[in-house]
């Protein structure tokens, strides 16, 4: 069962990647990260992929995801695809 | 043949698990780090299996420093081989092209292969519990192929491993990554294809961890 913070992130990523939606998703990701840190995940988690010629980074520290969500519509859609898998 | 680039965090994490759990029990050719280049890849066609880690897209698969070593227009002799590409999206075009070129079976992914790794452990990626949630099922799949089992069996080892890890994973982002990869894993060609099994591991033999990898330059 997903936590409230993650459900908010999933909801925020369902919208089209407008500037407002990206900002909202970034905020939801920040709240999720804060909850994650509170659970004691103290290492340096990094979201990686083996994509080629992508318009988003193939390695991004989890705590930097909100900035990338806000900035990059392609990354917003990439994240949407991932979180939808746990629908 | 093993293709194991090590030049960035994702290749280092994925190759690291293969180096730890598969490499010690394989025979050359093994293209590791900077040696994972197009020319040796296209020439070294011996053996009955290709296990490749690398960045990729629908039609291309890369080696060291994103050098394209395999694409739909230049497929080397893959007749009768089993091909496992630990990469992104190659199941869309490259996988079918490999089967058309005579490969007996292909295992890969039709979307991005994504996971969460601990970048503090880049010099010993095999000890990364975060990365293991996706990489151990993939490693087990590869070992099943190497043990001479069918690719159908190896694929079910992959899917069952990902399902099991998703079930017990508490971190939602990591669980989403595991489920995303599970949805996008693909087996093409003959699911009864096998390769010649490697020598069995004699007990009480135990593989020891390799030395730390050099830093990323």
Interface residue B90 vs chain A (CB under 8 A): no
A40 to chain B, any CB pair closer than 8 A? The answer is no
The CA distance from B199 to B40, in Å, is: 26
The dihedral over CA atoms of B139, B144, B146, B147, expressed in degrees to the nearest 10, equals 140
Average pLDDT of the residues in A49-55: 95
Q: Indicate the domain borders of chain A.
A: 4-84
pLDDT tens-place string over residues B92-105: 999 999 999 999 99
A47 touches chain B (CB under 8 A): yes
Query: pLDDT by residue (tens digit) across B144-187?
Result: 999 999 999 999 999 999 999 999 999 999 999 999 999 999 99
The strands making up B114-118's β-sheet, listed across from edge to edge, are: A59-61, A45-49, B114-118
pLDDT over 70, % of chain B: 97
How close is the nearest chain B Cα to the Cα of A78, in Å?
9
Is the distance from CB of A60 to CB of A45 less than 8 angstroms?
Answer: no
Architecture (CATH level 2) of domain B2-188: 3-Layer(aba) Sandwich (3.40)
CA nearest to A49 within chain B: B114
- Distance (Å, rounded) from C-alpha B134 to C-alpha B166? 9
pLDDT of residue A40: 63
Closest CA to B110 of B196, B38, B169, B188: B188
Q: Which among B72, B15, B52 is positioned nearest to B145, based on CA atoms?
A: B52
Q: What is the 3-state secondary structure (H, E, C) of A8-66?
A: HHHHHCCCCCCHHHHHHHHHHHHHHHHHHHHCCCCCCEEEEECECCCCCCCEEEHHHHH
Residue among B41, B39, B189, B30 nearest B101 (CA): B189
Interatomic CA distance for residues B125 and B113, integer angstroms: 17
Give the best residue of A32, A37, A45, A48 to mutate against chain B (max B CB count within 10 A).
Answer: A48
Give me A66's structure tokens. 């909100």
Locate the chain A residue with the closest alpha carbon to B62: A52
Give the tens place of pLDDT for each residue, B81-91.
Answer: 999 999 999 99
């Amino acid at each position: 069962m997903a936590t409230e913070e993650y459900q908010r992130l999933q909801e925020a990523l369902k919208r089209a990647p407008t500037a407002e939606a990206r900002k909202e998703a970034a905020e939801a990701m920040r709240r999720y990260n804060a909850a994650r840190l509170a659970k004691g995940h103290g290492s340096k988690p990094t979201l990686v992929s083996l994509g080629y010629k992508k318009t988003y980074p193939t390695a991004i520290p989890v705590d930097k995801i909100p900035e990338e969500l806000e900035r990059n519509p392609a990354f917003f859609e990439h994240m949407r695809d991932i979180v939808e898998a746990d629908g | 043949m093993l293709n194991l680039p090590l030049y960035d965090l994702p290749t280092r994490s994925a190759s690291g698990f293969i180096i730890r759990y598969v490499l010690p029990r394989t025979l050359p050719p093994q293209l590791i780090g900077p040696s994972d280049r197009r020319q040796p890849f296209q020439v070294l066609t011996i053996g009955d299996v290709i296990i490749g880690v690398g960045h990729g897209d629908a039609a291309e698969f890369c080696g060291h420093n994103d050098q394209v070593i395999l694409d739909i227009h230049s497929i080397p002799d893959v007749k009768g081989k089993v091909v496992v590409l630990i990469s992104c999206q190659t199941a869309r075009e490259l996988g079918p092209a490999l089967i058309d070129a005579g490969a007996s079976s292909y295992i890969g992914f039709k979307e991005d292969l994504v996971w969460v790794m601990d970048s503090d452990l880049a010099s010993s990626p095999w000890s990364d519990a975060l990365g293991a949630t996706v990489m151990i099922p993939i490693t087990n799949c590869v070992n099943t192929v190497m043990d001479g089992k069918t690719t159908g069996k190896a694929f079910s080892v992959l899917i069952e491993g990902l399902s099991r890890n998703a079930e017990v994973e508490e971190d939602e982002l990591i669980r989403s990554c595991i489920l995303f990869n599970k949805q996008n894993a693909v087996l093409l060609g003959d699911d009864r294809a096998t390769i010649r099994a490697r020598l069995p591991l004699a007990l009480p033999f135990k593989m020891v961890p390799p030395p730390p990898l050099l830093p990323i330059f």
